[in-house]
């Protein structure tokens, strides 16, 4: 009789950690810093790309991001018209080396915290949650983010960048290394928050709860003042598209920005208490 039953083991403790992205999630509204540099790097190659093309792989490790831009059909076509051949790995390597100093130079220009970041993080910490972070930036780049964030009162307990793990997003390794650094009981006790599709997939692949941020980051892709200046109808169209895209990729929750995520945290905790799993 008993062999007809299968027993499941569910985590029913508190949320122990919230793992946040950087650009577009906690600072740099619109995720501008990497996007403008990708445009600049391709411009210097004589193959201009649009801001929309630059954003398509956003969330990936930056060298991988450049390679994925070269694989976009429209970009590949322009490259072939310019050089009479397809882009190759040597091109990607060269552009990435050009990307690094340009990115380092401009990061602090886009390092203002997104409204609500410090308030939400302080509230999460007051509830006993630890704060982790992941990023497609490399070590020297995220060091600048950390310094600029600390000046504004934001300092995560753990930061893992793409160069710390074998593969960046959407692989789960940065989230998992955060879980190790933070000493969490289970990945089911963790929430991953991100403004990019690869970042949401990173959290899902790590077995964590996920919250997508639809308007503060890459999906709308505008600084706060420019986003607020959009005609209402245009903003709502862009917003609805971002929500749909994030839910379709598997996000458990989607809100506008980090300032709106506390009800999601409360809901996740309630679901954990009821025996739900990510």
Q: Which residues are catalytic?
A: 21, 62
Largest CA-CA distance found in the chain, in angstroms, rounded: 72
What is the Cα–Cα distance from 61 to 233, expressed in whole angstroms?
A: 34
State CA 57 to chain mean position distance.
11
Residue pair 135/145 in contact by the 8 Å Cβ criterion: yes
Q: Could you give phi then psi for residue 90, rounded to 5 degrees?
A: -60, -40
What is the Cα–Cα distance from 28 to 147, expressed in whole angstroms?
A: 14
Name 161's bridge partners: 135
Residue pair 160/174 in contact by the 8 Å Cβ criterion: yes
The two structure tokens encoding residue 113: 């915290």
Q: Which helix (H) or strand (E) holds 78?
A: helix 73-83
Classify residue 135 by its DSSP letter. E
What is the Cα–Cα distance from 260 to 133, expressed in whole angstroms?
A: 18
State how far the alpha carbon of 234 is from the alpha carbons of 28, 228, 239, in Å. 22, 11, 9
Sequence-ordered list of residues with C-beta below 8 angstroms from that of 44, at least 6 positions apart, any chain: 98
User: How many CB atoms within 10 Å of residue 268?
Assistant: 22
């Amino acid at each position: 009789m008993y062999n007809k039953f299968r027993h499941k083991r569910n985590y029913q403790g508190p949320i122990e950690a919230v793992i946040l992205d950087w650009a577009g999630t906690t600072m740099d509204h619109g995720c501008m810093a990497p996007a403008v540099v990708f445009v600049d790097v391709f411009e210097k190659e004589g193959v201009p790309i649009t801001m929309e093309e630059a954003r398509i792989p956003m969330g990936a490790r930056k060298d991988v991001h450049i390679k994925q831009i070269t694989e976009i059909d429209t970009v590949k076509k322009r490259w072939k018209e310019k050089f009479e051949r397809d882009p190759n790995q040597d091109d990607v390597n060269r552009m990435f080396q050009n990307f690094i100093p340009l990115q380092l130079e401009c990061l602090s220009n886009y390092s203002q915290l997104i409204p609500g970041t410090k308030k939400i993080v302080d509230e999460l910490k007051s509830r006993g949650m630890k704060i982790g972070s992941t990023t497609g930036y490399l070590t020297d780049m995220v060091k600048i983010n950390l310094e600029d964030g600390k000046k504004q009162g934001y300092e995560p307990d753990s930061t893992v960048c793409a160069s710390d793990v074998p593969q960046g997003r959407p692989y789960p390794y940065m989230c998992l290394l955060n879980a190790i650094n933070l000493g969490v009981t289970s990945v089911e006790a963790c929430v991953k928050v991100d403004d990019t599709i690869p970042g949401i997939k990173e959290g899902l692949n790590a077995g964590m709860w996920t919250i997508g941020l639809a308007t503060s980051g890459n999906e709308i892709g505008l600084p706060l003042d420019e986003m607020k200046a959009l005609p209402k109808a245009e903003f709502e169209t862009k917003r609805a598209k971002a929500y749909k895209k994030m839910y379709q990729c598997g996000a458990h929750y989607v809100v506008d920005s980090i300032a709106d995520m506390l009800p999601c945290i409360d809901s996740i905790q309630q679901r954990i208490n009821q025996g739900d799993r990510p």
